[in-house]
């Protein structure tokens, strides 16, 4: 989507709504809650605001009927597109990625974060570092998303953040255009060369989403047809924001209330 001036307020409102819901949802993450219960809350809050959970029924070539839930919830070695399940109760020391989308007056937002379940002290320090580096990679990607730069500059900035960390970028997955549909052009790889790819122009609405593991990068799709997991059982982190590039600034539309 290339936003026009009359789209900007609607995009900002859509992003504020998603940021607030995602933060509220992360606040519900605790020992014993199931991933399906979290999904039910997310859908309820989106609908209470008069908006649509746009991942529900979304089907980019997957099983018939599309994704059955509002929120993709991926735990530990699940990487993305995790299917919420009643029998998947969270344990202290797990990490959970919440990836949520909504459509507000036709403006589509996409955002994700990964958080520890319970006390962070129960999570391996290397895994906490993976979360911190991935959140930082997202910030570096956002900083590189400026009018006149290229998509490859974002990819490169994200890749650079992981240099020397020992973590693996999941190269099969990446960011994308968004705003009018869940997935639009261009694909935004989380690795690449500066000065390559499409030029970044005013009005672009982009979802940036670094995804990395504390092991190898190879992923497979589980028998449910949706859930990506790591092949080696390593754990994964995923942070995502939808941004709007304007002539003189880049706006993080899905910024959460507690984020700076």
For residues 213 and 162, the answer to whether their CB atoms sit within 8 Å is no
- In the complex, the smallest distance separating the C-beta of residue 125 from Mg ion, rounded to whole angstroms, is 27
Interaction between residue 98 and Mg ion (CB under 5 A): no
Choice from 95, 133, 137, 207 touching Mg ion (CB under 5 A): 207
Beta partners for residue 214, in sequence order: none
Query: Residue 77: how many CA atoms within 13 Å on its side-chain side?
Result: 13
- In the complex, the smallest distance separating the C-beta of residue 241 from Mg ion, rounded to whole angstroms, is 10
Beta partners for residue 71, in sequence order: 100
For residues 22 and 11, what is the distance between their CA atoms, to the nearest angstrom? 16
List binders of Mg ion among 234-253 (CB under 5 A): 240
Q: Compose the 106-125 pattern: x for residues touching Mg ion by CB under 5 A, - for all others.
A: ----x-x-------------
How many binding residues for Mg ion (CB under 5 A)?
A: 5
Interaction between residue 99 and Mg ion (CB under 5 A): yes
- In the complex, the smallest distance separating the C-beta of residue 55 from Mg ion, rounded to whole angstroms, is 8
Nearer Cβ to Mg ion, position 26 or 89? 26
Nearer Cβ to Mg ion, position 185 or 247? 185
Nearer Cβ to Mg ion, position 92 or 184? 184
For residues 149 and 200, the answer to whether their CB atoms sit within 8 Å is yes
* CA–CA distances in Å: residue 110 to residues 34, 50, 145, 252: 22, 17, 17, 11
């Amino acid at each position: 989507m290339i936003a026009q001036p009359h789209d900007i307020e609607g995009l900002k409102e859509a992003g504020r709504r998603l940021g607030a819901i995602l933060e509220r949802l992360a606040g519900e993450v605790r020992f014993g809650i199931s991933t399906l219960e979290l999904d039910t809350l997310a859908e309820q809050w989106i609908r209470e605001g008069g908006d649509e959970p746009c991942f529900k029924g979304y089907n980019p070539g997957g099983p018939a009927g599309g994704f059955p839930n509002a929120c993709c919830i991926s735990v530990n070695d699940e990487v993305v597109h995790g299917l919420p399940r009643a029998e998947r109760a969270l344990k202290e020391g797990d990490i959970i990625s919440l990836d949520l989308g909504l459509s507000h007056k036709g403006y589509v937002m996409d955002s994700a974060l990964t958080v520890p379940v319970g006390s962070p002290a129960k999570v391996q320090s290397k895994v906490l570092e993976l979360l911190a580096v991935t959140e930082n990679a997202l910030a570096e990607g956002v900083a590189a998303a400026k009018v006149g730069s290229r998509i490859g500059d974002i990819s490169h900035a994200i890749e650079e953040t992981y240099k020397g960390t020992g973590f693996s970028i999941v190269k099969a997955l990446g960011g994308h255009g968004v705003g009018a549909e869940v997935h639009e052009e261009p694909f935004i790889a989380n690795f690449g060369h500066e000065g390559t790819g499409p030029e970044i122009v005013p009005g672009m609405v982009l979802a940036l989403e670094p995804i990395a593991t504390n092991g190898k990068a190879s992923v497979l799709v589980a028998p449910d047809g949706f859930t990506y997991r790591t092949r080696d059982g390593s754990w994964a982190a995923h942070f995502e924001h939808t941004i709007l590039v304007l002539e003189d600034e880049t706006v993080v539309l899905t910024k959460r209330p507690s984020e700076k």
